[in-house]
A and B are shown apart, each in its own frame.
Chain A
Amino acid sequence: MWGILRRSAVDGGGFSASSLRRTRFALVSARSYAAGSKEMTVRDALNSAIDEEMSADPKVFVMGEEVGQYQGAYKITKGLLEKYGPERVYDTPITEAGFTGIGVGAAYAGLKPVVEFMTFNFSMQAIDHIINSAAKSNYMSAGQINVPIVFRGPNGAAAGVGAQHSQCYAAWYASVPGLKVLAPYSAEDARGLLKAAIRDPDPVVFLENELLYGESFPISEEALDSSFCLPIGKAKIEREGKDVTITTFSKMVGFVLKAAEKLAEEGISAEVINLRSIRPLDRATINASVRKTSRLVTVEEGFPQHGVCAEICASVVEESFSYLDAPVERIAGADVPMPYAANLERLALPQVEDIVRAAKRACYRSK
C-alpha cells in the first residue's frame, strides 16, 4: 500500500495519466461505443474555451499577470495575444487589488473581463473587490449594476509549494451569496463550465487546479463544439453505485475514482459525485444519491473546519436524516498549514487510502 502511495505521489498528486485512462475507458466503454477516442488536456480545454468566447463576443477580454507576452504563467492563455492583440489581452503589473478593481469597474460598465489570478492565494489581496464590489453589487443596487466577470486561476495545493501557495478557497468564496463558484475536473468540465462562466451575467469564481492542467481526458464531439456549455449548479455522477455516496470536486475526483475501484474489489459499490459547482451546490443530486445508498463520505482538499464538506454533511443530515444508515464522514486536508517536506505534504492531503477507509467505516466494514 505504501508502495502505491509513493508512486502516486511521485506521479504528481495521486494519479497518473495512464491509470486515469484505464479508469476513464472502463467507464466510457461500458456506456457507449461512439464516445470517440479524442483526448484533450485540461490546459487545451481552458485555452479553447477562452478563445472561442473571445471570438464570439468582442466584450470579452483577458487580464492578469503574464497572460499576454509570456503566454500565460501556466500557458492557459497561450496564443491569445497573437490572435486578438493587445486590445483584448492585458498584461497587468503585480497589483491584484488594483487590477481586480479595474476589472470589476469594467464589468460595471458592461464589458466581460476574464481576470486571471496566478493562484487563488493571491486573490486574497483583491478579495474586497471580489466580494464587496462584485458579488454584492447586483443586490445592493436592486438589479441596476450587474457584474459579468470571471475570476479564474489555479486553486488548492500544487506540489511542494509550501504554506502560502497551497490553500483551497472553495469554502471561502462559496459562502458568499451573489457569487457563483465552479470547480472543474475533466477537460469536458473545464470547457463547458468556463464557457458557461464567461457567458454568465453574474460574477463567477472559477477554481482550476495546477496539477490537472497537463492531464488528458477523453472528450466527446459534442464537447468540442463551440456552443457547448454545461449548466451551472448541476453535479455529475461520475460513477454509479449503490452502497455509499462519495462527493468531491476538482483534483480529488481522480482520487475518489481510484478509491471506488479499490472498494469495488472489496465488494463495495461507491457512487461518485463530481460537484462541478460549489455555489450553487447541487443539494438535490447529493440528497437523491444518499437516499439511494444511505451512506455519505465527503472529500475535499481544503481545510476541514467550516469547509465544503461541512456544508454537504449539514445539508444531508437536515434533508435526508431518516435515510442515513451511518454517520456522515468527512475527508479533508489536514488542519495545518501546508508543510514543504514531501512526506509531511503527503500526510497533509487526502490520499486514496483515507477515502477507502472512510467508505469502509460508513459501511461498517472496519472500526
Chain B
Amino acid sequence: LTPKKETFQTKSENGVITTLSPIHHRFTSLPPPLRFDRPNPDHNRNGRPFHRPPMRRSLTLRGDLIPGDPLLLPRMEIAANSLYKSKLIRGFCHLYDGQEALAVGMEAGITKEDAIITSYRDHCTFLGRGGELVDAFSELMGRMRGCSNGKGGSMHFYKKDASFYGGHGIVGAQIPLGCGLAFAQKYSKEENVSFVLYGDGAANQGQLFEALNIAALWDLPAILVCENNHYGMGTATWRPAKSPAYFKRGDYVPGLKVDGMDVLAVKQACKFAKEHALKNGPIFLLIGKTQTPNKTIVIIMDTYRYHGHSMSDPGSTYRTRDEVSGVRQVRDPIERVRKLLLSHDIATEKELKDIEKEVRKEVDDAVAQAKESPVPEPSELFTNMYVKDCGVESFGADRKELKVTLA
C-alpha cells in the first residue's frame, strides 16, 4: 500500500463537492466517489433517482413531497425580523433564513428519536422538530405560552419530547453536550444518533476537539455538523481559521462536505451519516485495520445566512450587498426546490403560490395569537429552579419584601 498525497475530491454537475477524509490517502485503490446529489446504488431502492418521486397527486405538497416545510421557515424568520424592529422581541435574535435547507433536509433524513442540539440560531430547528409557530413567537415575545414559558427567549428553545435539546447561548458549548447525548444513546443501547450542530465560528473551540476525541475514543454515535455560513459573527472564515477546511480536522474521524443549500443533498447526507454512525458505512470498510470501527462522523454543510449574525448586526459591514443578493439568486434553497417541483411537474405555479399564501396566513395568525397571549405571572420568577425544591428559600431584589420558599 503506497500512500497518496492529493486530496480525493469530485465535483458533480450541479456543483456538489464530495471529499473523502485524509485517512483514505493511505490506500492506492479508492472507492468510487460518494455523491449526495443523487442516491448511491446501495441507498437507492428501486433504481430511480431520489428527486423524482412517484407522480401521485394524492400526496400533499406540504409535508409529503416537499420534505418538512421549507416555505414556512423563512416566513417565520422575516416575521421575527419585523417583530424585533417593533421592539416586541428583545435582547438577542439570531435568524436562520438562507439556511433552511439544513433544518428541513436533516429532518427529512432522520427520526424524532434521533437527537438534535444546536446553538442560539435555533428557531427553525425547533420548528423542524415539530415545534408550534405560536409557541415560538410567544417565547420570542416573552409570553407564558412560549415553549420555555417566556423564561428562555430566542436562544433557549427546547422540545425534549422530540429529542431537541436546545438552544445554547455559549458558542461551542453544545458540542460536548451533544456528544453526551450520543453517549446516553449508546449507554441505553438505543439505535439512534445525535446531530450536533455548530457554526464555523465554533469550529475553532477547544471543547470541540476535546469532545471529538472522547467521541472517537468511546465510539459514540455522534454526527458533528458544521453549519458553515462563512461568517463567525462578522469574521469571514479565512480570518480566524488557519485551515478553513473544517471537515479535515477530524483526523481519525471521517469528514464529508455537503452543499448545505440543497435540501435533497442534505437529506441524503444525513441519512448516510446516520447509517454510518450506527453500522459503519463504506468509508470504514476501506481502512482495513483491526481497530474498532469509528462511529463518529463530521459533516460540513456549506450554507449561507442572509441576515446578519443577529438583529443588532446589519450584516453589511463585513460583506457586500452584491454578495448576499448573488447567493440569493444562484443558491437560494427555496428557489431550488421550487424549480425542481415545477420542472418535474409535481406542482404548478398556482399551487405554489397558494402554499405561499397559506404559509403567510399561518404565520400572521400565529403572531397575532402570540401577541394576545399573557406575560408570565410574577410568581413564575421562582419556578423551575429545581426539580426537588426541599424547602429552599429564594429572594427578590429586596429580600425583606420578596422572599419565597420553593415548595
Contact = CB atoms under 8 A, between A and B. Distances in A.
Interface string A132-171: 1100011111111110100000000000000000000000
A61 B187 contact: yes
Given A95-B213, A98-B207, A200 B181 contact: no
B151 A140 contact: yes
A95 to B, nearest CB: 4
Interface stretch (A72-80, A85-93, A216-224, A248-256): A85-93
Interface string B374-390: 00000000011111101
Contacts of A103: 180
Listed residue (A92, A100, A109, A143) with the most chain B CB atoms within 10 angstroms of its CB? A109
A99 B187 contact: no
Contact of A138 (B159, B386, B399): B386
A153 B404 CA distance: 32
B9 interface: no
Contacts of A177: 385, 394
Contacts of B117: 105
A280 interface: yes
B176 interface: yes
Given A144-B160, A231-B390, A90 B173 contact: no
A101 B177 contact: yes
A145 B160 contact: yes
Given A61-B187, A138-B387, A233-B390, A105 B179 contact: yes
B323 interface: no
Interface string A94-122: 01011111111111111100000000000
Contact of B179 (A102, A145, A283): A102
B365 interface: no
A93 B176 CA distance: 14
A233 B389 CA distance: 10
A109 B180 contact: yes
B168 interface: yes
Interface residues of A, number: 48
B150 to A, nearest CB: 8
Interface residues of B, number: 53
Contacts of A180: 386
Given A99-B214, A109-B180, A145-B166, A201 B388 contact: yes
Contacts of B383: 142-143
Contacts of B187: 61, 87, 106, 111
Given A132-B169, A140-B151, A178-B386, A101 B184 contact: no
A273 to B, nearest CB: 17
A104 B174 CA distance: 10
Interface in A182-203: 200-202
Contact of A105 (B147, B159, B183): B183
B101 interface: no
B54 interface: no
B207 A109 contact: no
A98 B196 CA distance: 14
Contacts of A110: 184
Contacts of A97: 176, 206-207, 210
Given A133-B168, A177-B394, A108 B181 contact: yes
Name the 10 nearest CB pairs between A and B, nearest first.
Answer: A105-B180, A101-B176, A98-B210, A109-B184, A105-B177, A95-B210, A142-B149, A201-B387, A102-B180, A280-B392
14 contacts: A97-B176, A99-B210, A101-B175, A101-B210, A102-B183, A139-B384, A140-B148, A141-B148, A141-B166, A142-B147, A144-B160, A231-B390, A280-B393, A318-B399
Given A105-B178, A201-B386, 9 more contacts: A102-B180, A102-B211, A109-B184, A133-B168, A139-B384, A146-B387, A202-B386, A232-B390, A233-B392
